[in-house]
């Protein structure tokens, strides 16, 4: 794999139950996912066939489904689970995932965690 190749999904917004306070457990809030996934795109570039690439629509749909159905206290835990799904279900060797919770802190536009998992060749 070329160390340069990445597939990106940016600004994927999903509503879920997230937070540690009682009032947060009773509502759905928006979280935003930004993902960078190591993937050798050379085969897909040569063949122009979807089966030779990382299908970002499938990754997005899986993340939406998982996050909508989840109920975590911390974005750290949600981010870790999402990264594990991406790596194990889609055979992605390395992922950088930013999990954001817009408006979580008064006066700030956003709070987020940024994690990297796996090995980027």
Which residue from 29, 6, 30, 2 is spatially nearest to 97, judged by alpha carbons? 6
Q: What is the pTM of this model?
A: 0.93
H helical segments located in the chain: 42-47, 56-69, 75-89
pLDDT, tens digit (0-9, with 9 covering 90-100), for 25-84: 999 999 999 999 999 999 999 999 999 999 999 999 999 999 999 999 999 999 999 999
Tell the CATH topology of 6-118. GTP Cyclohydrolase I, domain 2 (3.30.1130)
Q: How confident is the model at residue 120 (pLDDT cuts 50, 70, 90)?
A: confident
Indicate if 49 belongs to the active site: no
Flag whether pLDDT at 96 surpasses 60.
Answer: yes
Structure token pair of residue 77 = 């835990």
CA distances from 87 to 25, 91, 100, 109, 120 (A): 28, 5, 20, 29, 12
Q: Average pLDDT in the 79-103 region?
A: 97
Q: Average pLDDT in the 13-24 region?
A: 96
What does the alpha-carbon distance between residue 115 and residue 98 come to, in Å, rounded to a whole number? Answer: 6
Options 49, 61, 98, 101, the catalytic residue: 101
């Amino acid at each position: 794999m070329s160390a340069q190749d990445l597939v990106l999904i940016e600004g994927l917004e999903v509503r879920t139950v997230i937070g540690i306070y009682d009032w947060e457990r009773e509502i759905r809030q928006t979280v935003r996912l930004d993902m960078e996934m190591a993937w050798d795109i050379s085969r897909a570039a040569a063949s122009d066939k979807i089966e030779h690439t990382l299908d970002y629509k499938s990754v997005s749909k899986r993340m939406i489904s998982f996050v909508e159905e989840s109920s975590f206290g911390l974005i750290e835990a949600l981010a870790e689970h999402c990264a594990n799904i991406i790596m194990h279900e889609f055979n992605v060797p390395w992922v950088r995932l930013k999990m954001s919770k817009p408006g979580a802190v008064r006066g700030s536009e956003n709070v987020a965690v940024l994690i990297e998992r796996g090995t980027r060749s």
